[in-house]
Amino acid sequence: MKEEEVINLSKKFKFNPLEVIPLKREASGREYWRIINDDEETIILCYLDPNEGDHTNFINISNELKRNHISGVDIIHHDKQVGVTIQEDLGDKDLMSIFSDDNKEELIQRSIKLLIELQESEIKNLEEFTKEDLINQMNLFDKVFCQKFLNLASDESINDLKSITIDKLCQHPWVNCHFDFERRNLVLDKNNHLTVIDYQDMKKGPIGIDMAGILVDHYFEADISKIKSFLNFFSTNVKSEYSDDACFEFTRWGCIQRNLRILGTLSDLYLTKDRSFRLKDMPLILKNLTKMIPEEHSSKLFLEQEVQPLLLKSVEQL
């Protein structure tokens, strides 16, 4: 979307723009703009091409979060035909931006508490992931990431890993699953409340996928001892009784599903839509995936010896 189009939309919705600032474009295709009016008030305009999707889930879940007293995004206006929502401006203090050695532990603990609230709340009319959904997402790893992006034949050990993963996930507790619960989707608002955003893909799903999202970060190398320490905090605060070992297994297999899926998704976005902005993240995503796979599983060797070197070379050449 061009700046002029954003200005015209702002005027259409009675918000007279003094300045419009592009913020980000998500893998989903959503575009975010900050609009400043002549009273120095700000709002966020989110645009999604109506041919690619709509905002219905996001709006419904926003209302449900508010009903459950969970900090989400306030929707000011929605125009389904145009593909626009006008949202409150939460500011720029997402956890990606403000993370430091000094505040890391506090912010992760606050994120875990928010995740527990999210998991334990009653979100009405929430769909559920199917087993086939989770399998198809993992299949993107070999079909797109390996075969199309790296031009590499996948290994039978990956099929075995996916088979074990789906069996484990189906045995784990299923809860409200944000599906992208990571630092860039957590924001400290102007009142310093931790707020969750980008929850339009939320469904009922395996408990470990969101635990992995916040604890197996795409921008830091996974530290198993620190992950286990935070999981002890999780098990202490959650209502259900889970042992620390069980929480680690939830996170391990949630991470494996999540990272296989994301490597496939980012590759597909590059190959089909020329979106290259996350390719630089892929080597660490793969490294963390490898670290979370059980030591005895043969896929670790395939990923370390064949996939990782080829990925590093491919990303460097782009």
Question: What are phi and psi for residue 277, nearest 5 degrees?
Answer: -65, -15
Specify the range with the lowest mean pLDDT, choosing from 12-21, 101-110, 205-214, 246-255: 12-21
Q: Is the pLDDT of residue 141 over 80?
A: yes
Could you tell me the CA-to-CA distances from 308 to 268, 300, 318 in Å, in that order? 18, 10, 16
Pick from 70, 66, 64: which is nearest to 186 by CA?
70
Instruction: Note the pLDDT of residue 118.
Output: 98
Q: pLDDT tier at 170 (50, 70, 90 boundaries)?
A: very high
Query: Helix or strand or coil: residue 291?
Result: helix
Q: 21-67: per-residue pLDDT in tens?
A: 999 777 778 999 999 988 889 999 999 999 999 999 999 999 999 99
In the DSSP assignment, the letter for residue 145 is: I
Domains and CATH numbers, the chain: 3-88 (3.30.200.20), 95-317 (3.90.1200.10)
Q: How far apart are CA 191 and CA 117, in angstroms?
A: 19
Instruction: Note the pLDDT of residue 246.
Output: 98
Please tell me which residue, 21 or 16, carries the higher pLDDT value: 21
At 164, the amino acid letter reads I
- Between strands 84-88 and 42-47, the pairing is antiparallel
Instruction: Note the pLDDT of residue 29.
Output: 83
Q: How far apart are CA 109 and CA 1, in angstroms?
A: 37
In the DSSP assignment, the letter for residue 187 is: E
Which token pair is 240? 């259900």
- Where is 36: in which H helix or E strand? strand 31-37
Instruction: Note the pLDDT of residue 172.
Output: 99
The whole-number average pLDDT for the span 185-194 is 95
Pick from 238, 252, 244: which is nearest to 209 by CA?
252
The whole-number average pLDDT for the span 143-156 is 98
Q: How far apart are CA 127 and CA 224, in angstroms?
A: 32
The whole-number average pLDDT for the span 165-189 is 98
The total of other beta-carbon atoms located within 10 Å of residue 58's CB is: 25
188 strand-pairing partners = 194
Q: Is the pLDDT of residue 317 over 80?
A: yes
The total of other beta-carbon atoms located within 10 Å of residue 122's CB is: 9
In the DSSP assignment, the letter for residue 216 is: S
Q: pLDDT tier at 13 (50, 70, 90 boundaries)?
A: confident
The whole-number average pLDDT for the span 133-160 is 98
In the DSSP assignment, the letter for residue 184 is: G
Contact 66, 199 (CB under 8 A): no
Pick from 84, 94, 252: which is nearest to 168 by CA?
252
87 strand-pairing partners = 44, 75
Instruction: Note the pLDDT of residue 24.
Output: 79
**Mean predicted lDDT score pLDDT of the chain:** 96
The whole-number average pLDDT for the span 259-285 is 96
Could you tell me the CA-to-CA distances from 216 to 31, 101, 200, 289 in Å, in that order? 26, 16, 22, 9
Instruction: Note the pLDDT of residue 208.
Output: 99
Q: How far apart are CA 209 and CA 25, in angstroms?
A: 23
Q: How far apart are CA 9 and CA 4, in angstroms?
A: 9
Contact 95, 217 (CB under 8 A): no
Instruction: Note the pLDDT of residue 4.
Output: 92
Cβ density class 40-52: b for 16+ within 10 Å, e for less:
eebbbbbbbeeee
Q: How far apart are CA 213 and CA 179, in angstroms?
A: 8
DSSP notation for 166-228? HHHHHHS-EEEE-S--SGGGEEE-TTS-EEE---TT-EEEETHHHHHHHHS-TTS---HHHHH
Which token pair is 87? 């949202």
Instruction: Note the pLDDT of residue 228.
Output: 98
Instruction: Note the pLDDT of residue 28.
Output: 75
Q: pLDDT tier at 234 (50, 70, 90 boundaries)?
A: very high
Q: How far apart are CA 261 and CA 141, in angstroms?
A: 6
